[in-house]
Amino acid sequence: MYALHCHGGTASKSQVVELILRNKLLQPRVDDEEIVATGERRIVNRIAWLRQNLKQKGDLMMPRRGVWQSTPAGRRRLFRFAERLHDDADDDLGILDQEFFERLTPNFLARLRALAPHAPQI
Per-domain residue ranges for the chain?
Answer: 2-116
Q: How far apart are CA 37 and CA 40, in angstroms?
A: 8
pLDDT along the chain (122 residues), means of 10: 96 96 95 96 94 94 95 94 80 58 89 87 60
pTM of the model: 0.87
Residues 6+ apart with CB under 8 A from 72: none
> What is the per-residue burial (b if ≥16 Cβ within 10 Å, else e) of 61-88?
eeeeeeebbbbeebbbbbbebbbbbeee
